[in-house]
Chain A
Amino acid sequence: MTASVYDKYEAVIGLEIHAQLLTHSKAYSSDSAEFGAAPNEHVSAISLGHPGTLPKHNKTVIDYAVKMGLACEAQIREFNYYARKNYFYADLPKGYQITQDKTPICNGGFVKIKLKDGSTKKIGLTRIHMEEDAGKSMHDQDLYDTLVDYNRAGVPLIEIVSEPDMRSADEAYAYVTEMRKLVRYLDICDGNMEEGSLRCDANVSVRLKGAEKFGTKVEVKNMNSISNVKRAIEYEIIRQIDLLEAGETFTSETRSFDALKGTTFSMRSKEEANDYRYFPEPDLPPFIADQAYVSSIREQMPALPDALFDKYTKELGLSEYDAQVLTDLKEIAAYFEELIGFTSNYKAAANWVMGSVKSYLNENALEMADFHVPAKNLAELIALIDSNKLSNSVAGQRVFPVMIEQPERSPLNIAEELNVLQESDAGFIEGLVQQVLEANPAKVAEYQGGKKGLLGMFMGEVMKLSKGKADPKEATRILSEYLDK
């Protein structure tokens, strides 16, 4: 089949993202919600759904869901109630999941994704609702039995449902990347897809370009990284087009992604789907998210990547590339924000953060949280360079490593101790220039005879004599003055 056959079609993709919220305790009990404990450590009568227990509401869950809604410019619903979704499974202790059905906390909204051609596209959201996670069935821990870890049972989630607005695997990739960035900025989810704290299901269909009607929708599950989301969707689009081109029809079904083979396989048809018998949760009262409450949450919102990107490109005059790198990670943006509070040399600040700071972290496999140099000190280092007291290279190679070792020490103090502060006093440099020229009369003659390349040699001598402390710019200027007169 030629590539042109695939070009006749377009894909229609909608994503459902489940984000585990970073609350200390579970959604409906005071059990710890932290990841990584030994199996069945974070459980209690409530989270195990023992007879007589009732859900005990963790209000932070609502705060986080509202934050996400506000970040996506969604409408926040004022009158909310919870619903029960009933089904039987070993990892669901109560036999139902507490979720929201007809009244999701957020409706509408959008996120902007950046496409490869540099343009942006808005991906609409259908809804965001709150629910509790189930436990985890482990089929590979025991030879005969499936074991269940209930630590995750009751951990709060938000489910973010997009409109079917994406048209390619790349757009889906960009969307998940953007969502992960957002939840991390908001500090409501760690965004870790490998550990399952961010999970994504894709609804994929294809249709002939220009067609109005949607094709048959297939849901793809179990993609545990953003690149797998892209791979799975790419595979699924081709698979569906191939089927259609071969004249075959297919029904709506749920498929699972096999990361090793890079393919999807059928899990169940939609006809086999459960009747979840949703109904309002009678154990939790409805809650009101009134304007005063929503405003109070709005006030706690951090600056978001889009706003920072605009600020950096429009107000600080940074390039789009710089702005992108600086806003990719919340922690880096936060440090940069602090840094520009102490210096107005934004370009230098950006270069330092994107250069020396990032390479130090990368080389040592560290996170921004492991970088302890106060922004104030880094700004001081920039100021020393700007006032010609330090050269860029000496600052980067000699002073900065000591700052990392001793974060509280001021760079001026370090430079003094290292004896690397530059001398830009004209009298001092003139003295050195004179000494060098007097010591090398033959070379001076050669230079003046036209061998201009010798300037570097003279500079080297001057710098050597100054023990590296002469301001190179000033030294070049004076040297040229003497030689060329």
Chain B
Amino acid sequence: MKRYTAYSDFRRDLETGKVTCVQAVEHYLNQIESQQDLNAFLEVWADEARAKAAEQDALIQSGKAGRLAGMVIALKDNICYAGHNVSASSKILQGFESLYSATVTERLLAEGAIFIGRTNCDEFAMGASNENSAFGLVRNAIDKERVPGGSSGGSAVAVQGDMCLAALGSDTGGSIRQPAAFTGTVGYKPTYGTISRYGLLAYASSFDQIGPITRSVEDAALLTEVMAGMDEFDATMFQEPAPELKLETGKKYKIAYLKEAIERDGIHPELSAGMKNLIAELERQGHTLTPVEFPYLDYLVPCYYVLTTAEASSNLSRYQGLMYGYRSPDAVDLESTFKKSRSQGFGPEVQRRIMLGTFVLSEGYYDAYYTKGQKVRQFITDKTQDILANHDFILLPTTPDIAFKIGEKASNPVAMYLADIFTVQANITGMPAVSVPGAGTIEGMPWGVQVMADRKKDSELLSFAHELLEQNQNA
């Protein structure tokens, strides 16, 4: 089967009988099989996917197929699917089977999507390289010595390596966009509150958002339309129906860009050049490009880590070794059950963040860290909104560098955290952002261009990203 970029092409071929869902599933299963060394999948639901494919073929025949009939999707291992294991790549959830399906899982299934398996990720979505998985690291399909990014590294590689048409990821500080940039895929984090978080294993509740990793902006929009819209099980969502995501072309936009984000120390020079070329090209096409000041870049990552670790320290308190998941064999009483199960069940990065979060919330330090972090969050949001009051988008590189080498940053958490510098702003502010592959390659690797818009401007954002991607691909 050919490598499809967009579901609409596949669907056309389905309708005309050129391909079947069963063939597609077999194709992807083979692709998974032949690229096992990348370690993208933690579990493959082969038989189930085959059965679903046959069902979808029948529905196509009878003309009753849903919007996503036969679309083969991989689920990040932190999204619940009833009766299936879910572990957030953590030993602490070893053998745990979810009792229920996430809202997104249900909505995608209802439209005919086929889940082919669950993908590896950084443990509890904490990481930027997918090296923090209890079940082994994930390799970049283009250069196996390089990381795929994280935390949704398995999902990005699954899409990159044609092991599925699309994958779901979750994005708390860039976990969809950064691996998309590193793997040459499209990664989209919708406005916070667009997609239900019910059934997503929480890392930092006020930052987490589920989103798609795809090979086209068109598919990102399609999947988001199906998943979005109010859900009685998530009180933090917009209480309104899902927005229609129409991809309009030919509009001229007012685009802000941050000089500092392009010329800053530590930005790969070719990436910097790529951004400058892009800016020139966009101006040439009639868009208005304006350099803007945003002197708070250095506050983004600290603000993000203070607040997300605080929430994480509480969100991860439920993993206790009592009702489900891993229980230490050394536990002798209640306290040792908690302490030993958690010490043995969580990996080092998760433990680091739980401790950091516990610290920033503790008496005596709360105001100095958590309260201040909240204030900085508001400040950053206000300043970002000021920019977006006069511009349609902010244009940024997704990451300062291309995919780094495996092990390169593993021993330096701060260096690893700084890899998030351009992506956390969208999560701090709740704004939508998308990463699309930039023109050409750098050292043979893809790089990502990121566009961010004001809250609820997802439709405009994707319209522009769609054009941008086409242009980059033709450059």
- Complex CA gap A49/B314 in Å reads 12
Partner among A45, A50, A90, A96 whose Cβ is within 8 Å of the Cβ of B317: A96
Q: Say how far A294's CB is from chain B's closest CB, in angstroms.
A: 21
Given A52-B202, A284-B235, does the pair A95, B320 have CB atoms closer than 8 Å?
Answer: yes
| A45 neighbours in B (Cβ, 8 Å) | 98-100
Given A95-B320, A96-B317, does the pair A53, B362 have CB atoms closer than 8 Å?
Answer: no
Question: Is A93 among interface residues, defined by CB-CB distance under 8 A?
Answer: yes
Q: Which of B360-396 contact A (CB under 8 A)?
A: 361-363, 366, 370
Q: Which of B56-64, B193-201, B213-221, B399-407 contacts A (4 or more CB under 8 A)?
A: B193-201
- Complex CA gap A282/B235 in Å reads 10
Partner among B197, B232, B318, B334 whose Cβ is within 8 Å of the Cβ of A94: B318
A90 in contact with B334 (CB, 8 Å): yes
Q: Which of B149-200 contact A (CB under 8 A)?
A: 197-200
| A51 neighbours in B (Cβ, 8 Å) | 80, 86, 88, 93, 96, 98, 201, 318-319
Task: Give the interface centre of B86, B102, B198, B317 by most chain A CB atoms within 10 Å.
Answer: B317
| A84 neighbours in B (Cβ, 8 Å) | 314
Given A93-B323, A284-B235, does the pair A52, B80 have CB atoms closer than 8 Å?
Answer: yes
| B319 neighbours in A (Cβ, 8 Å) | 51
A95 in contact with B98 (CB, 8 Å): no
Question: Is A473 among interface residues, defined by CB-CB distance under 8 A?
Answer: no
| A49 neighbours in B (Cβ, 8 Å) | 318
| Nearest CB in chain A to that of B206: its residue | A282
Q: Say how far A136's CB is from chain B's closest CB, in angstroms.
A: 15
| B201 neighbours in A (Cβ, 8 Å) | 51-52
Number of chain B residues whose Cβ lies closer than 8 Å to a Cβ of chain A: 45
B232 in contact with A56 (CB, 8 Å): yes
Question: Is A317 among interface residues, defined by CB-CB distance under 8 A?
Answer: no
- Complex CA gap A317/B337 in Å reads 66
| B102 neighbours in A (Cβ, 8 Å) | 52
Question: Is B234 among interface residues, defined by CB-CB distance under 8 A?
Answer: yes
| A56 neighbours in B (Cβ, 8 Å) | 232-233, 235
| Nearest CB in chain A to that of B363: its residue | A275
Question: Is A55 among interface residues, defined by CB-CB distance under 8 A?
Answer: yes
A277 in contact with B322 (CB, 8 Å): no
- Complex CA gap A88/B322 in Å reads 11
B200 in contact with A52 (CB, 8 Å): yes
- Complex CA gap A52/B233 in Å reads 11
Partner among A57, A93, A282 whose Cβ is within 8 Å of the Cβ of B311: A282
Number of chain A residues whose Cβ lies closer than 8 Å to a Cβ of chain B: 29
Q: Which of B318-367 contact A (CB under 8 A)?
A: 318-320, 322-324, 334, 338, 358, 361-363, 366
Question: Is A48 among interface residues, defined by CB-CB distance under 8 A?
Answer: yes
Given A54-B234, A282-B236, A285-B235, does the pair A277, B314 have CB atoms closer than 8 Å?
Answer: yes
Question: Is B310 among interface residues, defined by CB-CB distance under 8 A?
Answer: yes
Question: Is A86 among interface residues, defined by CB-CB distance under 8 A?
Answer: yes
Question: Is B459 among interface residues, defined by CB-CB distance under 8 A?
Answer: no
B317 in contact with A94 (CB, 8 Å): yes
- Complex CA gap A84/B313 in Å reads 11
- Complex CA gap A90/B341 in Å reads 14
Question: Is B8 among interface residues, defined by CB-CB distance under 8 A?
Answer: no
Question: Is A265 among interface residues, defined by CB-CB distance under 8 A?
Answer: no
Question: Is A428 among interface residues, defined by CB-CB distance under 8 A?
Answer: no
Q: Which of B291-330 contact A (CB under 8 A)?
A: 310-311, 313-314, 316-320, 322-324
Q: Say how far A48's CB is from chain B's closest CB, in angstroms.
A: 6
Question: Is B272 among interface residues, defined by CB-CB distance under 8 A?
Answer: no
Question: Is B31 among interface residues, defined by CB-CB distance under 8 A?
Answer: no
Given A275-B362, A277-B361, does the pair A54, B235 have CB atoms closer than 8 Å?
Answer: yes
Question: Is B205 among interface residues, defined by CB-CB distance under 8 A?
Answer: yes
A50 in contact with B236 (CB, 8 Å): no
Q: Which of B421-470 contact A (CB under 8 A)?
A: none
Q: Say how far B424's CB is from chain A's closest CB, in angstroms.
A: 16
- Complex CA gap A260/B98 in Å reads 46
Partner among A96, A275, A283 whose Cβ is within 8 Å of the Cβ of B236: A283
Question: Is A79 among interface residues, defined by CB-CB distance under 8 A?
Answer: no
Q: Say how far B3's CB is from chain A's closest CB, in angstroms.
A: 32
Against B, the Cβ 8 Å flags (1 = close, 0 = not) of A407-422 are 0000000000000000
Q: Which of B262-299 contact A (CB under 8 A)?
A: none
B358 in contact with A277 (CB, 8 Å): yes
B99 in contact with A50 (CB, 8 Å): yes
| A94 neighbours in B (Cβ, 8 Å) | 317-318
Against B, the Cβ 8 Å flags (1 = close, 0 = not) of A32-57 are 00000000000001001111111111
| A285 neighbours in B (Cβ, 8 Å) | 235-236
- Complex CA gap A283/B100 in Å reads 19
Question: Is A482 among interface residues, defined by CB-CB distance under 8 A?
Answer: no
| Nearest CB in chain B to that of A88: its residue | B338
Q: Say how far A343's CB is from chain B's closest CB, in angstroms.
A: 50
| B93 neighbours in A (Cβ, 8 Å) | 51
Against B, the Cβ 8 Å flags (1 = close, 0 = not) of A280-307 are 0011110000000000000000000000
| B198 neighbours in A (Cβ, 8 Å) | 52-54
| Nearest CB in chain B to that of A53: its residue | B198
Q: Which of B91-121 contact A (CB under 8 A)?
A: 93, 96, 98-100, 102
Given A56-B235, A86-B361, does the pair A279, B98 have CB atoms closer than 8 Å?
Answer: no
- Complex CA gap A84/B318 in Å reads 13
Q: Say how far B360's CB is from chain A's closest CB, in angstroms.
A: 9
| A55 neighbours in B (Cβ, 8 Å) | 235
Q: Which of B39-78 contact A (CB under 8 A)?
A: 78
Partner among A54, A90, A96, A278 whose Cβ is within 8 Å of the Cβ of B322: A90
Q: Which of A65-86 contact B (CB under 8 A)?
A: 84, 86
Question: What 14 new A-B contacts, CB under 8 Å, besides A52-B79, A56-B232, A283-B205?
Answer: A48-B323, A49-B318, A50-B98, A51-B201, A54-B233, A86-B313, A88-B317, A93-B318, A95-B314, A95-B320, A146-B334, A275-B362, A279-B361, A279-B366
List residues of chain A with CB under 8 Å of any chain B CB: 45, 48-57, 84, 86, 88-90, 93-96, 146, 275, 277-279, 282-285
Give 20 CB contacts A-B under 8 Å.
Answer: A51-B80, A51-B319, A52-B102, A52-B198, A52-B199, A53-B198, A54-B197, A54-B233, A54-B235, A56-B232, A88-B320, A93-B318, A93-B323, A94-B318, A95-B318, A279-B311, A279-B366, A279-B370, A282-B311, A284-B235
